[in-house]
Amino acid sequence: MTHGNSPATITGIKIRWIALRMWIHLFRIALDEYRSYKDVLKTLHAMLTLRKKFAGENHTTKMIGANGRFYWNMHLPGFPSIIFDQHFLGAMNRTIPVRSLHNRLAILFLGITRRCPLKCRHCYDWAPGQQDDTLSVTELQTIISKYLEKGISQVFFLGGEPMVRFDDLVKLVRYIDGKSETWFSTCGYQLDKEKVSILKEAGLTGVMISIDHFDQQKHNAIRGHEQAFDWAMNATQNAVDAGLLSCWSLCLTPELIDLQKLLTYTALAASCHVNFVNILEPMAAGRYAGKNVTIDSQGLNILEEFYLQMNRDPLYSQFPIIVYDGYFSRRLGCLGAGNRYLYIDSLGHAHPCPFCRSSIEINALSDPAETQLDNLKDQGCLLKINDED
């Protein structure tokens, strides 16, 4: 039984009404910034064009309502909110500079530990031997403060497994509360009802739970632990019951690149009242380093067809919203490397993204944020560069 304040899928005419409210709101913000109807129309047209590249030509058939806010994508802050306004001031600034304080970045992905109870086949942060946590809570707060000042809409706490630093995770979420939305990624380890409640009270927005197969035994084999599936399913139920936004994160294996199997996976997520499914393409990093894990063109076509069908076809209006970064990174280029997001690992080093490690040492604790971003932008996407060589 879910609580009355649990996030709910919104469909039908209500979506059009909320979208109209949003665009009227953005029009007013743009007019206040530019004082020119020409500049307002140019900027909003650019944003609409970008939206179509992200989601296709047709309108989405669903959104998620939670705690008085509305979400089209887990990587966009909820509307209406001050965080939403600052995020889209940053988006407007990319077309025509705005006058007000705005977000240069969208997301900070922040690793807080390398410790983890699992041995996942595809772990991007794997290194020989376990390492103790390097950064204290105070040091992590220092890093976060730098990027709050630069303007970020969301902070995603990553690991390892962030739950092994549960008390520290709570402190970090509470430190950010109200300044940015916060999520964390987990395998579900020890995420019981009490801990979920504590995290929500601290200000957590949502939980991203890793589930790599709808079959329990296959998921456990991928994750290297016989309890992994049970952990993830229990964590999902606890997050949903607490009224947090929920997402399943799926790192694809060749077997799952099949429309029927992807539908089976998403139907299971729907039955668990999950709000989003985040599809990740395997990358040659961490445990996959040096391996050919690139999805071929036929597989990519299947994934893109699935992404568009699930988000646009009214038949699937009660299924989770599919988030698939690969769809728009192939159309817009890399959004990491200090462009719209960056990744800082648990050692305090800044990188273009969790899968793409910087070729030079960039110290997120001591280097100014502006210097970190400029260095990352100069490097660009190293995975793409390597693919082209």
Average pLDDT of span 4-18: 85
Give the chain's end-to-end CA distance (angstroms, integer). 53
Query: Distance (Å, rounded) from C-alpha 227 to C-alpha 220?
Result: 7
Is 168 found in the same domain as 24?
A: no
Question: Hey, which residues does 343 pair with through a beta bridge?
Answer: 109, 351
Question: Domain for residue 99, yes or no?
Answer: no
Per-residue confidence band for 3, with pLDDT thresholds at 50, 70 and 90: very low
Q: What is the dihedral of CA 274, 280, 282, 283, to 10 degrees?
A: -140
Is 374 found in the same domain as 265?
A: yes
Is 325 found in the same domain as 197?
A: yes
Is 164 found in the same domain as 239?
A: yes
Q: Taking 90 as the threshold, does the pLDDT of residue 319 lie above it?
A: yes
Q: Taking 80 as the threshold, does the pLDDT of residue 301 lie above it?
A: yes
Q: At what angle do helices 37-55 and 13-34 cross, to 10 degrees?
A: 140
Question: Domain for residue 102, yes or no?
Answer: no
DSSP code per residue over 205-247: -EEEEE---SSHHHHHHHHT-TTHHHHHHHHHHHHHHHT-EEE
Question: Domain for residue 334, yes or no?
Answer: yes
More confident residue, 20 or 126: 20
Of the ranges 112-116, 207-211, 352-356, which is most confident?
Answer: 207-211
Query: Distance (Å, rounded) from C-alpha 320 to C-alpha 337?
Result: 29
Is 116 found in the same domain as 37?
A: no
Quick count: other Cβ atoms within 10 Å of Cβ 362? 22
Q: How confident is the model over 277-286, as pLDDT tens digits?
A: 999 988 877 7
Q: Taking 50 as the threshold, does the pLDDT of residue 2 lie above it?
A: no
Q: How confident is the model over 141-154, as pLDDT tens digits?
A: 999 998 898 888 99
Question: Domain for residue 166, yes or no?
Answer: yes
Q: What is the pLDDT of residue 380?
A: 66
Is 145 found in the same domain as 41?
A: no
Is 21 found in the same domain as 56?
A: yes
Average pLDDT of span 9-29: 92
Question: Domain for residue 241, yes or no?
Answer: yes
Looking at residue 289, which CATH number applies to its domain?
Answer: 3.20.20.70
Domain end (from 93, 122, 151): 93
More confident residue, 126 or 161: 161
Number of structural domains (the chain) is: 2
Q: How confident is the model over 36-60, as pLDDT tens digits?
A: 999 999 999 888 887 766 555 556 6
Domain end (from 68, 93, 118): 93
Q: Which of 34-43, 79-88, 113-122, 265-274 has the lowest mean pLDDT?
A: 113-122
Q: Taking 80 as the threshold, does the pLDDT of residue 375 lie above it?
A: no
Question: Domain for residue 3, yes or no?
Answer: no
Name which of 239, 180, 168, 171 is nearest 208 in CA terms: 239
Q: Taking 70 as the threshold, does the pLDDT of residue 364 lie above it?
A: yes
Is 330 found in the same domain as 266?
A: yes
> Would residue 188 be called left, alpha or beta, if left means φ above 0 and alpha means ψ between -120 and 50 degrees?
left
Is 71 found in the same domain as 170?
A: no
Q: Give me the domain span that covers residue 14.
A: 8-93
Question: Domain for residue 249, yes or no?
Answer: yes
Calculate the average pLDDT of the chain: 87
Average pLDDT of span 55-69: 78
Is 313 found in the same domain as 257?
A: yes
Q: How confident is the model over 197-237, as pLDDT tens digits?
A: 999 999 999 999 999 999 999 999 999 999 999 999 999 99
Question: Domain for residue 198, yes or no?
Answer: yes
Q: Taking 60 as the threshold, does the pLDDT of residue 132 lie above it?
A: yes
Q: What is the pLDDT of residue 359?
A: 67
Of the ranges 115-124, 142-151, 182-191, 304-313, which is most confident?
Answer: 182-191
Query: Distance (Å, rounded) from C-alpha 210 to C-alpha 250?
Result: 6
Of the ranges 112-121, 152-161, 202-211, which is most confident?
Answer: 202-211
Is 112 found in the same domain as 71?
A: no
Average pLDDT of span 293-307: 93
Domain end (from 58, 93, 128): 93
Is 187 found in the same domain as 87?
A: no
More confident residue, 2 or 17: 17
